[in-house]
Structure 1
Amino acid sequence: MWEMIQTQIQQGIATLSFNRPDSLNSFNRQMHEEVQQVLKSWNTDSDIRVIVIRGNGRAFSAGQDLKERAGQLGNVPLPPEGSLAKYYNPLINLIRKSPKPVIAAVNGVAAGAGANIALACDLGIAKESAKFI
């Protein structure tokens, strides 16, 4: 169903996995849209008791996809209001204002905006090898 993320719900635990391991789970426009759509749905789902956010591969998230920001991926136009206002602020607000506890499971690098996403969660659990940059 999703291209940039994976989701799973088991016994009231909803897990959202960033699924762009080749780019260290860096965020592009499509990934932002998918993550926000899922979180909006889960925030209102009474069967979900807790949300876990993690990254597939060797990183939680390297933050913003700089190739897309430079317009190198199919000439993706940048939003006129800026990517922080259009994508990151709404995502951080969805996490911070969630009526459910949100846990960041940091398995590797959490850099830039990826670190901020992890830090916006109610609780962070990190492997000993995790790095916040």
Structure 2
Amino acid sequence: MSNAHQFIESWIEDSIAVIQLNRPEVLNALNREMVEEIVETLEGYDKDDRVRVIVLTGNGRAFAAGADIDEMSADTPITMDSINQFATWDRIALIRKPIIASVNGFALGGGFELVLNCDIIFADENTQFGFPEVNLGVMPGAGGTQRLTKVMGKAKALEWLWLGESMTALEAYKNGVVNRLIAPEVLFEETMKFASKIAKQPPLSLRFIKEAVNKAVDSPLVDGLQLERKNFYLLFDSEDQTEGMQAFIEKRKPNFKGK
């Protein structure tokens, strides 16, 4: 395990990088330094050839129970603008490798925003998600209103954002927020099993698929189709495409190298 950071732990298992939030005494509440550590570590693993998939997980009784309110309570519009804290969050969208969230306990406020920045979300059956910011006289600021609306649709998102109540894991699953509900005792194990399946897929294909799917979320159909086509053509210049098709013809398992 790496202990170079104050608020997270990180390590590599085979070709899977794990980032574990590590402030269990405050239910992994996110302060600015912790977010910076998470994002810097994501960027490091994105460039690391040993890593094919990244898993983001909590430690203790929660994934992350929100932002650090003590840190923000004295802020003014001017101090927040000068700190420009959400610029750090924007860098998560630039990570090209798959990010899988393994969520337990609570994912509230900034913790829920961090989850929504991941590509695939696994949650234990007892997890609670929510944006309680409205109860503090504020609102989500790290993308919560936008990402939740894109996942759930306008009316459903407004209901949760206005009420500030928590949704159960089952409600999150039914609304398309969560990919899979898993028994608490095997959550991390099942997440890692899934991650290892993804890690065996051709890395360039994973990357280009992620780029195309993200384009679909944010762009008109014609723009998404153009990017999909370009990425499809580009993959025909990869060694993995040659290997994948040759292995299919020879009826054997392909050995993908990310080239």
Counterpart in the other structure of 1:42: 45
In structure 2, how many angstroms separate the alpha carbons of the residues matched to 1:38 and 1:90?
A: 12
Q: Map Cα deviations across residues 60-119 of structure 1 (whole Å, 9 max, x no partner).
A: 111210011125xxxxx7794627x8334432x333331110001001100011101101
In structure 2, how many angstroms separate the alpha carbons of the residues matched to 1:54 and 1:79?
A: 32
Cα root mean square deviation, aligned: 2.1
- Match for 1:26 among 25, 29, 39? 29
Counterpart in the other structure of 1:90: 88
Q: Does 1:110 align with 2:107?
A: yes
In structure 2, how many angstroms separate the alpha carbons of the residues matched to 1:78 and 1:62?
A: 23
In structure 1, how many angstroms separate the alpha carbons of the residues matched to 2:77 and 2:12?
A: 33
Q: Which structure dedicates a bigger proportion of its chain to helix?
A: 2
In structure 1, how many angstroms separate the alpha carbons of the residues matched to 2:52 and 2:111?
A: 24
In structure 2, the CA distance between the partners of 1:59 and 1:124, relative to structure 1 (3 Å rule), is same
In structure 1, how many angstroms separate the alpha carbons of the residues matched to 2:49 and 2:76?
A: 36
Counterpart in the other structure of 2:11: 8
Structure 1 portions without partners, runs of 5+: 72-76
What is the SS of the residue equivalent to 1:25? coil
Counterpart in the other structure of 2:125: 128
In structure 2, how many angstroms separate the alpha carbons of the residues matched to 1:60 and 1:14?
A: 17
TM-score, normalised by the number of residues in structure 1: 0.84
Counterpart in the other structure of 2:225: none
Q: For residue 102 of structure 1, what is the amino acid of its counterpart? A: I
In structure 2, how many angstroms separate the alpha carbons of the residues matched to 1:114 and 1:69?
A: 15
Q: Which structure dedicates a bigger proportion of its chain to strand?
A: 1
In structure 2, the CA distance between the partners of 1:54 and 1:81, relative to structure 1 (3 Å rule), is same
8 Å CA contact retained: 1:79, 1:86:
no
In structure 1, how many angstroms separate the alpha carbons of the residues matched to 2:79 and 2:13?
A: 38
Q: For residue 43 of structure 1, what is the amino acid of its counterpart? A: D
8 Å CA contact retained: 2:39, 2:92:
no
What is the SS of the residue equivalent to 2:50? coil
Structure 2 portions without partners, runs of 5+: 131-259
Q: For residue 121 of structure 2, what is the amino acid of its counterpart? A: G
In structure 2, how many angstroms separate the alpha carbons of the residues matched to 1:57 and 1:119?
A: 20
**Bigger relative contact order, structure 1 or 2, given CA contacts below 8 A and separation 6+?**
1
Q: Percent identity?
A: 38
8 Å CA contact retained: 2:99, 2:120:
yes
In structure 2, how many angstroms separate the alpha carbons of the residues matched to 1:54 and 1:81?
A: 31
Runs of 4+ off more than 4 Å = 77-81
Report which of the two structures shows the higher radius of gyration computed on alpha carbons: 2
